[in-house]
Amino acid sequence: MAAAAAKASRASGALQAGRARLVTAGCARRGLGLALPVWATSPRVGSPMWAQGWALSAGGSAPWRGYSSEAKAEDELKVRYLEEENRGIVVLGINRASAKNAISKNLIKMLSQAVDSLKSDKKVRTVIVRSEVPGIFCAGADLKERVKMHSSEVGPFVSKARAVINEIANLPVPTIAAIDGLALGGGLELALACDIRVAAASAKMGLVETKLAIIPGAGGTQRLPRAIGMALAKELIFSARVLDGQEAKAIGLISHVLEQNKEGDAAYKKALDLAREFLPQGPVAMRVAKLAINQGMEVDLVTGLAIEEACYAQTIPTKDRLEGLLAFKEKRPPYYKGE
């Protein structure tokens, strides 16, 4: 038994060392054209979807396809590029008032199209996910649509929703969920896929799927424990408990809680404030910082440090780094181009 344990230990050490070499070699080999090194597609670390979400675009902005910042009122998703001092911030506004912003086939399609454009657009610096409907963030799956589905359709639909939410999680820029109202089931799973969550004190949120004799199917069973710890996540999922903003802040589910204002958009305004704090920072640095944090949290410390080293190496040859040093020397704000 001792021999078997020693053999297992040696194998584990070799695996760690091999991963570290792959991280360093993969990043160095690709330079700023980095997609992802080989380790990122391993079952332990992530999925090939990272290769899509983290490719650093070598070209300019991708064109919008069939939807625009001038969305009509009846559109289920409004995509807005903010301007002037907010340039670089993109807002995804869910707009299904008649269905409490419930997740439908069409909404999933529109989110997928939006994310496809965002992940390859170098002008995008931060993405905010919010609701255009007062008092609601997202009530979860559209159960009226779901009840009409044949049982054979449910699995593929949930798989597609899970894939789109994963793509949002894998966007290479900071993402913020502004929860100004109800966020239940898939709505909270959508928020959990964002890097940062802010909410109004009056907001209500929870993974309530067990009430319907199902489980969270768009990442909730995995992201909630990572956000608040395993035991508490189990408690909330087993009980289908709904929390208000203050309770969510107390357990670390959200980063900021605000008293709701007359306009009903306190969380969105806080999200905008946070996004403005991110705008002056180096774009390449922001991208690789997110990559280093996300991937490092899924592995042991030794491999995580190798990931950090490889990601740091990507910032060294950039024009942004040289501009940052020059701006510091000249005591002026830096002008970053994302290069």
How do residues 86-128 score in pLDDT, each as one tens digit?
Answer: 999 999 999 999 899 999 989 999 999 999 999 889 899 999 9
Digit-coded pLDDT (tens) for 252-291: 999 999 999 999 999 999 999 999 999 999 899 999 999 9
CB 118 within 8 A of CB 127: yes
CB 294 within 8 A of CB 193: no
Minimal CA–CA distance to 136: which of 104, 98, 105? Answer: 98
User: CA–CA separation, 16 vs 320, rounded Å?
Assistant: 32
Q: What would the mean pLDDT of 194-217 be, rounded to a whole number?
A: 95
Minimal CA–CA distance to 111: which of 182, 189, 40, 179? Answer: 189
User: CA–CA separation, 285 vs 111, rounded Å?
Assistant: 26
* Buried/exposed 304-331: b ≥16 CB within 10 Å, e otherwise: bebbbebbeebbeebebbebbeeeeeee
So which residues are the catalytic ones?
A: 141, 186, 189, 209
Digit-coded pLDDT (tens) for 29-55: 333 344 443 333 333 333 333 333 333
DSSP 200: E
Kindly tell me if the per-residue pLDDT of 200 is higher than 80: yes
Q: Diameter of the chain by CA atoms?
A: 69
Residues 6+ apart with CB under 8 A from 114: 67, 77, 79, 92
CB 284 within 8 A of CB 318: yes
| Chain mean pLDDT for the chain | 81
Count of Cβ atoms closer than 10 Å to residue 51 Cβ: 15
Strand partners, 155: none
Tokens found for residue 25: 């070699």
Residues 6+ apart with CB under 8 A from 94: 76, 77, 101, 107, 129, 130, 131, 132, 133, 137, 138
Residue 326: the pLDDT is: 81
Digit-coded pLDDT (tens) for 62-87: 333 333 344 343 589 999 999 999 99
Of 246 and 44, the structure prediction assigns the larger pLDDT to 246
State pTM to two decimals: 0.77
Q: Which H/E stretch holds residue 160?
A: helix 151-169
Q: What percent of the chain has pLDDT over 70?
A: 78
